[in-house]
Structure 1
């Protein structure tokens, strides 16, 4: 094995779990959460929505297909969801030092070390996941015998400000002008939009996009507590007073819910997997979706002109909302997947269809 140095995962309730080190041999603190996805760890680890979290993977073997070669297409990575690893630490049962994949360029341990992210393996992840399900996501830290640090709650930080783009960026030259508010956008969202003949303007989380000329507005995914994004919510409230189409994903639905006068709350342990079942309300249509979030919109506090669009079949939580008369809608899951199923990618087409309809009336 690459590294048999001992490290320890320490939880806020005093639980200590010993394991072996891979990745960077250092200490790190964050919120300990779990994901039940069987594959897709390169995509998950580069998803900005995981910022500040120590991620527990329930799948027993991790690392066996390495990390894909970095290739840039249209100014974004063709294989990863951002340019860096965003988790604070990784916890797995069995780490496979040997890897094999046609597009692999390095091991998972080498990749984590390059990004200064610690990993711990030989951990009973089944026990740990059951604990998090019963007691809820909790603060924790990975420490070495020589390096300890205090616990830290990442949800107290404005994580969106940490992961958003620094300035305005432009992509494509299609017929629809779309503004993407980057709160920690995954690259596959950008890919999905560019595949649909758009001219994309990507702006920082706190940018006043209302000053721009655009046909449709897109609200991205992102990490942390949506209430920290006061500037985004303020700009979005202005946009909701108009009638240009708006589509939000993940954090985007929470921002839309807050901007329209609703509220959000923290889930006990969140939804992080590629197998979350949702149902489209008013129908018997069900979909398997990819999800990564710790907060949700409170359906009880939605204004009268808004309604639910999807619900989670595991716990009944809100998975989608829409305005009853205007072309505004958002979903809590990830229709762009990467990783996970693409059952709901058609929602991008629905959004662009609403943009086409809007433009035809002007």
Structure 2
């Protein structure tokens, strides 16, 4: 690491990360040429870098991958969570690994370039992770120039001028702008994203509370008697604040008919679809900013007694709708190995997480009970209303990447819905 007082570019350096405090990290650039400003965060997942890069929740962020071998499975058209990448760029320890997968279509570095995303290799990612853990997620500029020519003063000014994610509504930028029906189920090797018996609802594991379900490689045989096709499937309206596609796939897998509406959908827009239930998706940015237009809609849905299930940003928006407050986290939670305790029975779920804001557990109203907490820091990871059919979790039960311990939440939501309203 260097600082802005000694900005000499080392020989062979074609990439740079300039933190707002003046710290400079030189490395080897890959992917697109140029620069981008955002918040640097770290992700501890050992798989799923393509899913992470395309997760809309990472809009405005530069991802520091702690796993050293990025690129080993290449990229393909299936392992994406949105139509395009939303993370600004990524930082890796080693040069991008040569693909070693029969599913590879394009090497990761070429995919990054084709999608206009900047990469930086040769960085001590563990040291950067420790820095973020101790000092918080910094604002920074990531840049790539094959000739190693950087205007460091200008990059530093850009990093220092960026306002940060607090107060920023990014859901409005990443949401799909049109209403759309969702048809695809979960992906299966040799079948793709088909819908049919392979995607029929699975039996609830662990009784009414649910529990761990087996991995996709060990998926139990479908239960055709519980398959809800066409009109027999309860209609779920999913509000897209920056949703991952695997959320919709898992709602279909759990037995729902799904219609996706944009983040700006009004109460009237939602009710015109005659939903049996409403799903509030994940998304980027400050929930308080998105809440300016989302919270009034959610409150009307609660008053109309429409069942609600929310995750991540949707969880935070539900919290705001019932009177709780949200706070910016010091470093956030991002990875595929986060332990969460389910308070009803003490079961620990290993979860996928990606959030930099949280609902302040001390501000919950009396009609909201805590259902899940993080075993890392005790932060709120789940709530349920006692006077409405509404619940939410901070983590990502759809995984992609990550464990599938929490799929039961989709089943619980869909199984509790009426087929028609």
Q: Same fold (TM over 0.5)?
A: yes
Q: Distance in 1 between matches of 2:348 and 2:173?
A: 35
Contact kept? 1:240, 1:260, Cα under 8 Å:
no
Q: Is there any run of 5+ residues in structure 1 with no aligned partner, and where? A: 71-77
Q: Distance in 2 between matches of 1:333 and 1:276?
A: 9
Q: Is there any run of 5+ residues in structure 2 with no aligned partner, and where? A: 1-11, 184-229
| Alpha-carbon distance, 1:193 to partner | 1.0
**What is the DSSP-based 3-state SS (H/G/I as helix, E as strand, rest coil) of the residue aligned with 1:85?**
coil
**What is the DSSP-based 3-state SS (H/G/I as helix, E as strand, rest coil) of the residue aligned with 1:63?**
coil
Moved more, 169-178 or 131-140: 169-178
TM-score, normalised with respect to structure 2: 0.80
Q: Please, what is the CA RMSD of the aligned residues?
A: 1.5
1:22-51 Cα deviation digits (max 9, x unpaired): 111211110000001111101100000000
1:167-196 Cα deviation digits (max 9, x unpaired): 111134452111000001101001111123
1 or 2, which has the higher strand percentage?
1
| Alpha-carbon distance, 1:113 to partner | 0.6
Contact kept? 1:31, 1:153, Cα under 8 Å:
no
**What is the DSSP-based 3-state SS (H/G/I as helix, E as strand, rest coil) of the residue aligned with 1:94?**
coil
| Structure-2 residue corresponding to 1:166 | 177
Matches within 5 A, 1:1-362: 6-68=14-76, 70=77, 78-143=78-143, 144=145, 145-146=149-150, 148-149=154-155, 150-151=158-159, 152-155=162-165, 156-172=167-183, 173-174=230-231, 175-208=233-266, 209-229=270-290, 230-356=292-418
Q: Quickly say closer, same or farther: Cα 1:97–1:314, change in 2 above 3 A.
A: closer
Q: How many residue pairs get matched?
A: 348
1:128-163 Cα deviation digits (max 9, x unpaired): 000000000010011342465412245243210111
1:257-309 Cα deviation digits (max 9, x unpaired): 00111110011000000000000114221110000000000111111111111
Q: Distance in 2 between matches of 1:118 and 1:247?
A: 35
**What is the DSSP-based 3-state SS (H/G/I as helix, E as strand, rest coil) of the residue aligned with 1:67?**
coil
Contact kept? 2:96, 2:109, Cα under 8 Å:
no
**What is the DSSP-based 3-state SS (H/G/I as helix, E as strand, rest coil) of the residue aligned with 1:54?**
strand
